[in-house]
Structure 1
Amino acid sequence: MRLWSIIFAALVLLLTFPIDQERLLASAASAAAERQAEETAGQNGREPVPEPANIASESAILIDQESGLVLFAKNAFARMYPASITKIVTAIVAIETSELDETVTVSKEARNEDGTRVYLSEGEQKTMEQMLYAMMLNSGNDAATAIAEHIDGSKALFAERMNEFVRDVVGVHDSNFVNPSGLPDENHYTTAYDMAQIARYAMRNETFRTIVSTVRMPWDGLEWKSTLINHNRLLTSYEGATGIKNGYTRAAGNTLASSATRGDKSLIGVVLKAPSSNQAYKDMTALFDYGFAAFQSNTLFAKGETYTEEEGDTTREWVAQQPIRVLARSGDQPHMSVDSQGQVMVENDFGPQKVGQLEPVKTQVHAMRSEEAAAMPETEKEAATSSPYAIWMPAAGIVVAAAAVWAAAKRRKRNRDTSDF
């Protein structure tokens, strides 16, 4: 019986061996986490929220406003006519290149512009801010032309500025604008993806956000005294809607770029060539409902958090100047990586996409050292501790040693017993 007691003690000693205890604890924690995940899934019993299946618009997209990550897309890279959502570009360019209190004088060409107007008079003067409200709320083409001429002297020159802006500042490359209002032209086009990224850029600007979220404001013009009412119906019909702009021409059909925020989730959607105005809003509502129901916000990096990467003898370190957050399907962890330039990438169903940028802190090249001399013992140590023999060989040795001690003690006792007689 003593032998079995010794063997039992040896096994207890084995299980309390420090390295193996860590492994056992890690294994137990992992198993517990898996059981908890299974129990949670069983308790929730929720099926993944399906993507919208009946988007009638020819092109549509939904993105995470904070990161720009694409969450839904239908023909998102097809070139389409934008109609009056063109004015998103005109507005953000004007805000960034002029002062709101500048005086804008209406030309004859602006006075006689085609399409929707706020009935500006030739020679009438308004501030840039007033013109922006007239253009974005009431979709005044006359105001758009007056803005363009004020900044660059002509619509054509201003269109060149628009194209440079979306290419060089926003970073999209599949749009071309030939006028500031969106009037039809075969060379005036965009994509749902481009327009969503342009809208996302514009919504970072406080003045732009204030204008496009305004439902109504009084208008006191020389020819027209009225109340400007925002044509974007979602502002009064959808909870959390914050902007942005709708449009229509016969060639473009109905277009809509919109934004909405609920809690820690902000979305931007674009639909192009919807068969009707009602369908454009129905499609946008479906996109927003899907985004808010199916996704959750995840913090990839807190402000000030660092990221370190070692490659050979070089250690690189970056820091997040601002929090980097991204929407991912509820219950999923974002597939994140950081490239050699500090770009934070996330991959989802629509491929790898940049969602943030880390700033470099330092790059350190280590002094040459005897890698082979330092690495080989460590490698052997890792191999030894990872082998199953590393666990059981010590135990076997302990058991054998214990048995030998027990046998020797037995012999000594027998010898003592014999000598006593």
Structure 2
Amino acid sequence: MFFIRSILLLIVLLFAAGIQKQAGAAEKEPVLESESAILMDAKSGDIIFQKNSGKKMYPASITKIATAIYAIEKANLEDKVTVSANAANMDGTKVYLEEGEHMKLKQLIQGMLINSGNDAAMAVAEYVSGNPDQFSKDINAYLHERIGVSQTNFMNPSGLFHEDHYTTSEDMAKITAYAMKNDGFREIFQTKKLPWNGKSWDTTLVNHHRMLTGEISYAGITGGKNGFVNESKHTLVTTAKRDNLDLIAVVLKADQKNFMYKDTMQLLDYGFKGFETKKYVQGESFSTESADSAKLPSDLMITKKKNETLSERVDSSGKLNILGEDGRIINSMQLAIDNKHEPKEEDPIQQTQHVDGEINRYLPPILMVLCLLGLLATDRFVKKLRNS
């Protein structure tokens, strides 16, 4: 009898574990060394994982991502820029510009992103805004109004330390997601090596991001920028793509350089192994509670666990809610309701999706109960046999 009960219990546990895996259980969450971090789906903007993502931090040279996209949208990449004495004399990492040197804006942005040139960053800022103080005002207004960040304030274009120069990992992910939609930015951001012809320095620039150059092997890296000042420690922004999933990983204040790369790989592994992007297409119809016709006014991208079955609900206000198997609302969008349409029954396919979602949600506990009832019945049957 004990043997039979043990076998049945093992079947129950294995079956329940299989159902849980099929339902899209996420991988084990990362354990990070960095003080602040975030993993974002670039297409949907959904946050897959975060650690202190709203905490104000010093960004160091990843600031240059914001400087680059602002300059690309503000000016023409073919514009010729004259390097000032102020730019040529900047401290820190440089591409060794000389006062009076003439260089295309695109080349300055390349020197700024690929080799992290602080002199190039200042030359860009002075060209697009006239002077450093005006640039600070301009880029902060741009980041808040155009991109929608809320906890970022940049005092300079390069990321050199200033106590009022700060951001968050979430804001940096938003800035990077916005920038990656621009073809010109994306081309420079993914450059591994670049021949550099300057007035006093001819060389080959090599990107400082080790995962991008392949010094640290990781499949799917599409761009990146690192940073370091004493106050910020090591900072890193990384973009990566596999299949239909585009990820952005940001880690801030890692005590050691290898920590920031290990943390980044953990984040990307977590995203690629456990999640995927689904697209709801503009114009797709849904039924409301009043049976009016309602359509998506634009595409809706959502991030879900792999193999997870979704369900859709439209509330009384006409808002579409996308629900996961555990009942959580993954994303929402207000539908465009057309009251001219006659009431109609819910689409059978959509009805089936709803039912499938509910079945998948409650199936494991139901099956476990049925198996346990069978176990009790078997136990009673064995006792009767023994008594007879």
Normalization by structure 2: what TM-score? 0.76
Instruction: Give the counterpart letter for 1:86 in structure 2.
Output: T
> Hey, what does 1:41 align to over in structure 2?
19
> Hey, what does 1:71 align to over in structure 2?
48
Distance 1:43 1:271 in 2: 29
SS in 1 for 2:261: helix
> Hey, what does 1:120 align to over in structure 2?
97
Distance 2:221 2:49 in 1: 18
Instruction: Give the counterpart letter for 1:329 in structure 2.
Output: K
Instruction: Give the counterpart letter for 1:200 in structure 2.
Output: A
Instruction: Give the counterpart letter for 1:305 in structure 2.
Output: E
Distance 1:172 1:348 in 2: 31
1:190–1:45 distance in 2 versus 1, CA, 3 Å: closer
Distance 2:29 2:44 in 1: 20
String of CA shifts for 1:3-47, please: whole Å, max 9, x gaps.
xxxxxxxxxxxxxxxxxxxxxxxxxxxxxxxxxx97963897997
> Hey, what does 2:112 align to over in structure 1?
135
| Pairing 1:379-398 to 2, within 5 Å after superposition | none
1:366–1:320 distance in 2 versus 1, CA, 3 Å: closer
> Hey, what does 1:302 align to over in structure 2?
281
Count of paired positions: 323
Instruction: Give the counterpart letter for 1:295 in structure 2.
Output: F
Instruction: Give the counterpart letter for 1:232 in structure 2.
Output: H
1:366–1:226 distance in 2 versus 1, CA, 3 Å: closer
Q: C-alpha displacement at 1:228, in angstroms?
A: 1.0
Asked if 1:333 corresponds to 2:309, the answer is: yes
Asked if 1:279 corresponds to 2:259, the answer is: yes
Distance 1:189 1:93 in 2: 17
Instruction: Give the counterpart letter for 1:244 in structure 2.
Output: G
2:38/2:47 contact within 8 Å kept: yes
Distance 1:346 1:98 in 2: 43
Asked if 1:268 corresponds to 2:248, the answer is: yes
1:51–1:217 distance in 2 versus 1, CA, 3 Å: same
2:24/2:306 contact within 8 Å kept: no
1:352–1:211 distance in 2 versus 1, CA, 3 Å: farther
Instruction: Give the counterpart letter for 2:307 in structure 1.
Output: G
Instruction: Give the counterpart letter for 1:100 in structure 2.
Output: L
Q: C-alpha displacement at 1:331, in angstroms?
A: 3.0
Asked if 1:62 corresponds to 2:39, the answer is: yes
1:61–1:276 distance in 2 versus 1, CA, 3 Å: same
Instruction: Give the counterpart letter for 1:212 in structure 2.
Output: F
1:336/1:347 contact within 8 Å kept: no
Distance 1:348 1:118 in 2: 53
Asked if 1:257 corresponds to 2:257, the answer is: no
Instruction: Give the counterpart letter for 1:141 in structure 2.
Output: N
Distance 2:278 2:160 in 1: 41
* Alignment counterpart, residue 364 of structure 1, candidates 328, 339, 347: 339
* Alignment counterpart, residue 223 of structure 2, candidates 224, 243, 246: 243
Larger Rg: 1
1:165–1:341 distance in 2 versus 1, CA, 3 Å: farther
RMSD after superposition: 3.0
Distance 1:338 1:90 in 2: 41
1:46–1:327 distance in 2 versus 1, CA, 3 Å: closer
Distance 2:22 2:175 in 1: 38
Bigger mean CA deviation after superposition, 73-82 or 338-347? 338-347
1:318/1:358 contact within 8 Å kept: no
Distance 1:107 1:124 in 2: 8
> Hey, what does 1:26 align to over in structure 2?
none
Q: C-alpha displacement at 1:233, in angstroms?
A: 1.1
Q: C-alpha displacement at 1:365, in angstroms?
A: 7.2
Q: C-alpha displacement at 1:307, in angstroms?
A: 3.9
1:49/1:293 contact within 8 Å kept: yes
Normalization by structure 1: what TM-score? 0.70
Distance 1:345 1:173 in 2: 26
SS in 2 for 1:251: coil
Q: Percent identity?
A: 41
Instruction: Give the counterpart letter for 1:94 in structure 2.
Output: A
1:252–1:346 distance in 2 versus 1, CA, 3 Å: farther
1:335–1:69 distance in 2 versus 1, CA, 3 Å: farther
> Hey, what does 2:294 align to over in structure 1?
317
* Alignment counterpart, residue 128 of structure 2, candidates 144, 147, 151: 151
Distance 2:159 2:251 in 1: 15
* Alignment counterpart, residue 191 of structure 2, candidates 214, 234, 258: 214
> Hey, what does 2:272 align to over in structure 1?
292
Q: C-alpha displacement at 1:209, in angstroms?
A: 0.8
Instruction: Give the counterpart letter for 1:264 in structure 2.
Output: N
Distance 2:165 2:324 in 1: 32
Q: C-alpha displacement at 1:329, in angstroms?
A: 1.5
String of CA shifts for 1:233-252, please: whole Å, max 9, x gaps.
11123210011211000000
